[in-house]
């Protein structure tokens, strides 16, 4: 970087152009990211329904979270959802990627089909599956009925609602991680496989000692992204179960939305939830980065 | 093996290895067959929900809710489509969504390209710090900024207009800037230098030389930005109130909430929302896959 004061006219001109080119994005950064983050923190220290003026209450909103049984339930539900979707999403996507990795006739068609749900909106996916999993008229229970199994109430029973939501989410998103894994797989040089083969490694040994270690950076990336997105589940739950039955699928962001934007208008309380959620995601991401040194293999 | 130890001559060895080869070939065919069976099975699992939705949307309501399963609609009826058109301002919603997605995507891609050029090619004090700060905003969960953004839009009097859905995107975003900057950095600078010697302004070089060179990356980013605007749910849900201004996703979500008994109409609406996106997907699929591969590789 040239010394700004001693800069030539040409360097100064280039710098001004630099600020002009990046200016709109940097303004957006201030207006739509930095300011909202600070404002959210401030709001979380107040009681505010958007109508009455803000009333400063200190840390009360955060303390109240500990006494809110519904909030604690949504924390447990979010952990349940994440504990289901993250391993399922990663293992499922890896299996699909391995399945469509090798060039064989028609493989591009299968890649395309597996990716198809990803481009469809969460609302459409939710509606399709709400219909498929309808207890009385849904295709799934009808087909189960034909082989003599009485299908459960997928979306309307406390035990089955969350597993159903997890499965639908996996169906919707597995193609996305598959493509990332596929890119990782294609980045593994062929000569490593050939060397392993010459050493007499069988298919499983080749996977365990070549594919998997070289795929750990990709897996790490997917794991980090999966935590971030699974902690923010909202759309599918809104469409499919509305957080029900009996709050069995009510997760953090859904409860936050209920507090802020349904009749309750608890902006301060919802902001406190948002901050706790943000800090939890940050802590988990940092923890994953720290742990990465132990298992992620960088060439 | 017993055979081999009994008469271990060269002929016996050759015969054995021939038999082993034949066995290996058989296994290979079996393996290929099983792989294809699995590929097709999963493919059906990915496609069937869509096909089923579209086929069922063409059935009269009473045959939707009766046995046996009718895979092919008979008689075909467009009743549900006529009903959705008259019950909701569905055409209006499609136009709204299209307008919002087009304008916001065009602005988003242009602003990102501008900033990417600035970060990749121009030298100015604070460039690295600002770029890192921009990347850091990708880590901020939307739940944290949701409430303050809502309050900003309310303060501006923009609630229940298209502006909250368009204006923030016109300021670009970290993901787009990152993607385009990476792409720009892989390109040689000779053409730009030549144009500069010929007396072109920086903006002229950006428009006439860089933009055409990064067209594939722009197409990828544009596809993603369009899709994310088209499929967006939580933000429009929070800022829009009037049916006439709804996006298609909000319109669809009404079908589950208010008229959840009218399955035929729900399926018709879902089909209307899915079909255009799938058509776009099949024609532009290489851009989707490229875009994800580009981000994934950075992990």
- Domain map (residue ranges) of chain A: 9-43, 61-295
Gap from A159 CA to chain B (nearest CA, Å): 22
Nearest alpha-carbon partner for B265 in A155, A126, A127, A142:
A127
CB contact under 8 A, B206 and A21: yes
CATH number of the structural domain A61-295: 1.10.3720.10
pTM for the full model?
0.89
Q: How far apart are CA B158 and CA B235, in angstroms?
A: 13
Nearest CA in chain B to A223: B299
Examine the pLDDT at A48 and tell me if it is beyond 80. Answer: yes
Q: What is the pLDDT of residue A265?
A: 87
Examine the pLDDT at A136 and tell me if it is beyond 90. Answer: no
Fold of B81-297: MetI-like fold (1.10.3720)
CB contact under 8 A, A130 and B297: no
Domain coordinates in residue numbering, chain B? 2-57, 81-297
CB contact under 8 A, B32 and A285: no
Choose from B56, B71, B120, B124 for mutation: most chain A CBs within 10 A.
Answer: B124
Average pLDDT over every residue of A110-127: 92
Q: Are A151 and A135 in contact (CB under 8 A)?
A: yes
Q: Is A71 on the interface with B (CB under 8 A)?
A: no
Gap from A21 CA to chain B (nearest CA, Å): 5
Chain centroid offset of residue B217 CA? 15
Residues 259-278 of B with CB under 8 A from A: 263, 266-267, 269-270, 273-274, 277-278
Q: Which residues in chain A touch residue B151, judged by CB atoms under 8 angstroms apart?
A: 39, 43, 50, 267
Tens digit of each residue's pLDDT (9 = 90 or more) over A210-239 = 999 999 999 999 999 999 999 999 999 999
Nearest CA in chain B to A139: B69
Q: How far apart are CA A163 and CA A78, in angstroms?
A: 12
Q: Is A117 on the interface with B (CB under 8 A)?
A: yes
**CA separation (Å) from A87 to A84, A185, A219, B209, B293?**
6, 19, 11, 45, 21
Q: Are B264 and B64 in contact (CB under 8 A)?
A: yes
Question: Can you list the pairs that B136-140 forms with residues at least 24 positions away whose Cβ atoms lie under 8 Å?
Answer: B137/A29, B137/A33, B137/A34, B137/B174, B138/B174, B138/B175, B138/B178, B139/A228, B139/A281, B139/A282, B139/A285, B140/A33, B140/A37, B140/A278
Q: Over its length of 299 residues, how does chain B's per-residue pLDDT go in tens digits?
A: 344 444 445 565 566 666 667 888 888 888 889 999 999 999 999 999 999 999 888 888 777 766 667 777 777 888 888 888 888 898 899 999 999 999 999 999 999 999 999 999 999 999 999 999 999 998 899 999 999 999 999 999 999 999 999 999 999 999 999 999 988 998 888 888 888 888 889 999 999 999 998 888 898 899 889 989 999 999 999 999 999 999 999 999 988 865 456 788 888 999 988 888 888 888 887 776 666 666 544 43
Q: Is A185 on the interface with B (CB under 8 A)?
A: no
Q: Sort B143 into a burial class: Cβ within 10 Å, 0-12 / 13-18 / 19+.
A: buried
* Between A2 and B126, residue with greater pLDDT: B126
Residues 55-114 of B with CB under 8 A from A: 56, 64-65, 67, 69, 111-112, 114
CB contact under 8 A, B35 and A99: yes
* Between A51 and B44, residue with greater pLDDT: B44
Strand-strand pairing, A55-56 and A46-47: antiparallel
Q: How far apart are CA A47 and CA A60, in angstroms?
A: 9
Q: ipTM > 0.95?
A: no
CB contact under 8 A, A218 and B299: yes
Q: What is the pLDDT of residue A183?
A: 86
Q: Which residues in chain A touch residue B139, judged by CB atoms under 8 angstroms apart?
A: 228, 281-282, 285
* Tokens, residue B247: 């996006």
Choose from B147, B196, B210, B236 for mutation: most chain A CBs within 10 A.
Answer: B147
Q: What is the pLDDT of residue B3?
A: 40
Q: Sort B199 into a burial class: Cβ within 10 Å, 0-12 / 13-18 / 19+.
A: exposed
Q: How far apart are CA B254 and CA B250, in angstroms?
A: 7
Q: How far apart are CA B272 and CA A125, in angstroms?
A: 13
Gap from B36 CA to chain A (nearest CA, Å): 9
Q: What is the pLDDT of residue B17?
A: 66
Examine the pLDDT at A25 and tell me if it is beyond 90. Answer: yes
CB contact under 8 A, A116 and B281: yes
């Amino acid at each position: 970087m040239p010394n700004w004061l001693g800069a030539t006219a040409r360097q100064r001109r280039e710098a001004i152009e630099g600020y002009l080119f990046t200016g709109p994005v940097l303004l957006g950064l201030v207006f739509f990211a930095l300011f909202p983050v600070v404002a959210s923190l401030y709001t979380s220290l107040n009681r505010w329904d958007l109508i009455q003026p803000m009333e400063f209450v200190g840390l009360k909103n955060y303390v109240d979270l500990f006494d809110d049984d519904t909030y604690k339930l949504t924390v447990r539900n979010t952990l349940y959802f994440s504990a289901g979707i993250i391993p399922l999403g990663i293992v499922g996507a890896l299996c699909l990627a391995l399945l469509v990795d090798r060039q064989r006739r028609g493989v591009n068609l299968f890649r395309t089909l597996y990716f198809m749900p990803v481009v469809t909106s969460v609302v459409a996916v939710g509606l399709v599956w709400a219909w498929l999993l309808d207890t009385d008229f849904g295709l799934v229970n009808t087909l189960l009925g034909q082989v003599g199994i009485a299908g459960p109430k997928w979306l309307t029973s406390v035990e089955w609602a969350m597993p159903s939501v997890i499965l639908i989410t996996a169906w919707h998103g597995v193609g996305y991680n598959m493509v990332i894994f596929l890119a990782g797989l294609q980045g593994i040089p062929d000569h490593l496989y050939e060397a392993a083969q010459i050493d007499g490694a069988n298919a499983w040994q080749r996977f365990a000692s070549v594919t998997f270690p070289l795929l750990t950076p990709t897996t790490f990336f997917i794991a980090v992204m999966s935590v971030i997105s699974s902690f923010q589940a909202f759309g599918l739950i809104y469409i499919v179960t509305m957080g029900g039955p009996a709050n069995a699928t009510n997760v953090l962001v859904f409860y936050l939305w209920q507090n802020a934007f349904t009749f309750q208008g608890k902006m301060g309380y919802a902001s406190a939830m948002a901050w706790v959620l943000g800090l939890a995601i940050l802590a988990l991401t940092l923890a994953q980065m720290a742990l990465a040194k132990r298992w992620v293999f960088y060439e | 093996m017993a055979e081999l130890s009994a008469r271990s001559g060269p002929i016996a060895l050759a015969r054995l290895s021939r038999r082993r080869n034949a066995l290996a070939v058989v296994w290979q065919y079996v393996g290929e067959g099983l792989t294809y069976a699995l590929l097709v099975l999963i493919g059906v699992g990915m496609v069937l929900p869509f096909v089923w939705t579209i086929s069922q949307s063409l059935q009269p309501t009473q045959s939707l809710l009766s046995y046996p399963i009718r895979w092919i609609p008979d008689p075909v009826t467009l009743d549900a489509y006529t009903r959705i058109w008259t019950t909701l301002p569905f055409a209006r919603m499609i136009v709204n969504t299209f307008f919002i997605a087009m304008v916001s995507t065009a602005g988003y891609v242009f602003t990102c390209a501008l900033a990417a050029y600035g970060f990749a090619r121009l030298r100015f004090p604070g460039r690295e710090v600002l770029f890192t700060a921009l990347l850091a905003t990708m880590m901020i969960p939307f739940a944290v900024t949701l409430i303050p953004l809502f309050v900003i839009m309310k303060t501006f009097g923009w609630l229940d207009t298209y502006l909250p859905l368009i204006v923030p995107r016109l300021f670009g975003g970290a993901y787009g800037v990152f993607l385009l900057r990476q792409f720009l950095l892989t390109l040689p600078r000779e053409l730009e230098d030549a144009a500069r010697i010929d007396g072109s302004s920086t903006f002229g070089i950006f428009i006439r030389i860089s933009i055409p060179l990064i067209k594939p990356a722009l197409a990828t980013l544009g596809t993603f930005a369009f899709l994310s605007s088209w499929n967006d749910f939580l933000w429009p849900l929070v800022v829009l109130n009037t049916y006439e201004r709804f996006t298609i996703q909000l319109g669809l979500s009404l079908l589950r909430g208010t008229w959840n008994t009218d399955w035929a109409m729900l399926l018709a609406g879902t089909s209307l929302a899915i079909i255009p996106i799938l058509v776009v997907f099949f024609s532009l699929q290489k851009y989707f896959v490229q875009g994800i591969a580009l981000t994934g590789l950075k992990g």
